Amino acid sequence: NAGVTQTPKFQVLKTGQSMTLQCAQDMNHEYMSWYRQDPGMGLRLIHYSVGAGITDQGEVPNGYNVSRSTTEDFPLRLLSAAPSQTSVYFCASPTGLAKNIQYFGAGTRLSVL
């Protein structure tokens, strides 16, 4: 998980609350991504960014917002948390010639009650 830092590691929210999951990378990578991991579902892409000021939707973007004001940071926002958003969230930063070498953070375990 070297180079990708996620905070917090654990979070409990009530339905309707908002919060921001932080992700920072110190590898000067252009690409950053957010995934969620649910039992039996594998990891699914939420949003991604190909550089500062540029973001796009992944497979499951509903209920999440992102922004990329700097190369280093890629926060994920939940504006009104729902129990269906209970999951483990991973930030990743791909690199390599084909952008197929993924570095993952340690994850944020979120529970929405």
Rg, C-alpha atoms of the chain: 13
Segment contacting another protein by CB under 8 A, of 14-22, 45-53, 63-71, 73-81: 45-53
Q: How far is the CB of 7 from another protein (least distance, A)?
A: 14
26 is a contact residue toward another protein (CB under 8 A): no
Say how far residue 57 (Cα) sits from the centre of its chain. 12
Answer whether 66's CB lies under 8 Å from 75's CB.
yes
User: Which residues make up the interface to another protein (CB under 8 A)?
Assistant: 1, 4, 31, 33, 35, 40-45, 48, 50, 56, 58, 90, 92, 94, 96, 98-107
